[in-house]
Amino acid sequence: MLIALGTEAAMKGYRVRYTLATKLVNELVEAADEKQLNKTIARYGRVDLLCIDELGYMELDRHGAELLFQVLTEREEKNSVAIASNESFGGWTKTFTDPRLCAAIVDRLTFNGTIIETGTDSYRLATTRARTAEQPNAS
């Protein structure tokens, strides 16, 4: 769904960037080490729609979470962010271990936002099962 949203926005002329959460955080950490953090954050701030996928799959250390927070703050009330996560907001404390930082990130993402819950069933698994059920038996 996240990729489709980004694709539709791009087809309508919006500047879109898609990234995995861990890839974004790794890029930010490397940029900080190379004294290029402001430039990198600004680059993520310029796109009309930033799509961040797989947030909640892996725990982020405090430094990485703080860097992600900076990106979200840079975009706040200026440009859109779309997040895909397998965790409800209540479970994000496993990803963002600092409760205050977690609350601030959720606050920024949900303010004037739209939350779409698709349920707990895996779309990929359901698609595979449906495809398998449609195939004739190989006997």
Q: Which domain holds residue 28?
A: 2-134
Percent helix, percent strand, percent coil in the chain, to nearest 5: 55, 15, 30
pLDDT digits (tens, 9 = 90+) for 64-112: 999 999 999 988 878 999 999 888 888 888 888 888 999 999 998 888 8
pTM, 2 dp: 0.81
Domain count of the fold of the chain: 1
pLDDT digits (tens, 9 = 90+) for 5-20: 999 999 999 999 999 9
Mean model confidence pLDDT for the chain: 88
The CATH number linked to 44 is: 3.40.50.300
Q: State the pLDDT at residue 12.
A: 97
User: Residue 90 falls within a domain, yes or no?
Assistant: yes
User: Residue 104 falls within a domain, yes or no?
Assistant: yes
CA distance from start to end of the chain: 36
User: Residue 98 falls within a domain, yes or no?
Assistant: yes
CB 14 within 8 A of CB 56: no
Q: State the pLDDT at residue 44.
A: 93
